[in-house]
Structure 1
Amino acid sequence: MPNTRRVDEARPRAPRPARSTRNRPTDSQLLDAARSVIADVGAERATMDMIAERGDTSRVTLYAHFGSRDALVERVIDREMAEFTGWMFAAYDDSTDMTHGARARHAVESLFAYARRHPEGLRVLLGHRHENDDPGRRLYQALEPRIAARLRENYAVGGAHIGASADTMSSLLLGISLDVAYRAIIVDGADIDAACDLAMTATLAVLRDVRSDQLLAIDESLGRRG
């Protein structure tokens, strides 16, 4: 009886390509790669090709995980914002029982300790400035209320009950450390320890020299406007 099998069935099949054993990148690993690129070139110049090369992956994978370049950048900024503010909130909580001066020292030291351990993250937050998205401004909005509340407590001990002027004071104090850190890690590349020492000296000088009557005068002027 003749063999009725189809010719293509009789031919040996080519072996299937071996499945890649390479580990698939996690979201965290991809965000790390994106953070590294943004820290180097800025968010506006970072491309998916750059991030894919830095993360040893492909553009297709990046789009599959995050949908778009802008969404990826936003995820990076949100993650770094949460980590930095969480670090600072913990520092504030740890210094609750310290004296006023020791609290200030601890806060400044904690900020620069973060800069030492996570320079890329802080470069992302302080170096990415866009008219519609300024993480630096978001840092102020997150941290200022905690600093202002502490200032009100400190001055109340001395009998001065300050109001909105605490917000102005907290912005000034936070700005000292953030601006010095910005110049150190982004603009000038200065030594972090030297930058911390400068920020510390300036912060303590402000706390020492700003008088309660000056803050109360601001509150009074704001009250007249209302």
Structure 2
Amino acid sequence: MIAEVGADRATMTAIAERGATTRVTLYAHFGSRDDLVARVISRELDTFTSFMFRVYDESEEMPYGARARYSVRCLFDYARNHPAGLRVLMGHREGHGNRRLYAALEPRISARLRKNYAERGTRIAAGADALASLLLGMSLDVAHRALIVDGAGIDAACDLAITATMAVLRDVRPEQLQALDASLGQR
């Protein structure tokens, strides 16, 4: 129900009817509608981040470009196989699961970016965080639009996200990231 209508519009009555139970039972178990929504979001966040962390671990030894493609493809495979879970996290309002999703995944992506740049002789700090946010945001937004907003084909959306990710990784220059780091150091 939350995936279908959004966290803000899912009522305890509708959730109880869908779950073949009563509002009284739901309130007794969860305490409030907000607590129920928070638990559902937490469950979906844990499931998705655990999946993505496994993907990151599995791809650790891949060459950099292959690792990026694999990670994006797996994100879309997850979206294809768990559309309701991704809708809960992304679908209806910025404040519920979305920011927590970024907070969970960005540090792993940033670390991978820092490591890749370091292997090529460039040290970056906060620039990696900004780049991680950009890359994650692109893929999640394309998945969101495909699943929820536009109903586009998930395979076509995945191809677009991979192309965009690879273009960003290819065209962002280390000097740009270092300039961003320097500008943050001046604050």
Pair in the same fold by TM > 0.5: yes
Q: Distance in 2 between matches of 1:120 and 1:81?
A: 12
Higher helix share: 2
In structure 2, the gaps of 5 or more residues are: none
- TM-score, normalization: structure 2? 0.96
Aligned to 2:19: 55
Secondary structure of the residue that 1:43 maps to in structure 2? Answer: coil
- TM-score, normalization: structure 1? 0.80
In structure 1, the gaps of 5 or more residues are: 1-36
1:53-132 to 2 correspondence within 5 Å?
A: 53-129=17-93
Of all paired residues, the percent bearing the same amino acid is: 68
Q: Which entry has the higher C-alpha Rg, 1 or 2?
A: 1
Q: Distance in 1 between matches of 2:41 and 2:96?
A: 10
1:164 pairs with 2:126: yes
Aligned residues: 187
Question: What value does the CA root-mean-square deviation take over the aligned residues?
Answer: 1.1
Q: Residue type of the partner of 1:158?
A: R
Q: CA deviation at 1:134?
A: 3.0
1:145-156 to 2 correspondence within 5 Å?
A: 145-156=107-118
1:173 corresponds, among 113, 130, 135, to 135
1:218 pairs with 2:180: yes
Q: Residue type of the partner of 1:173?
A: L
**Deviation above 2 Å: which 4+ runs of structure 1?**
none
Q: Which has the higher contact order (CA 8 A, sep 6+)?
A: 2
Q: Distance in 2 between matches of 1:80 and 1:54?
A: 18
Q: CA deviation at 1:128?
A: 3.4
Q: Distance in 1 between matches of 2:142 and 2:77?
A: 13
Secondary structure of the residue that 2:62 maps to in structure 1? Answer: coil
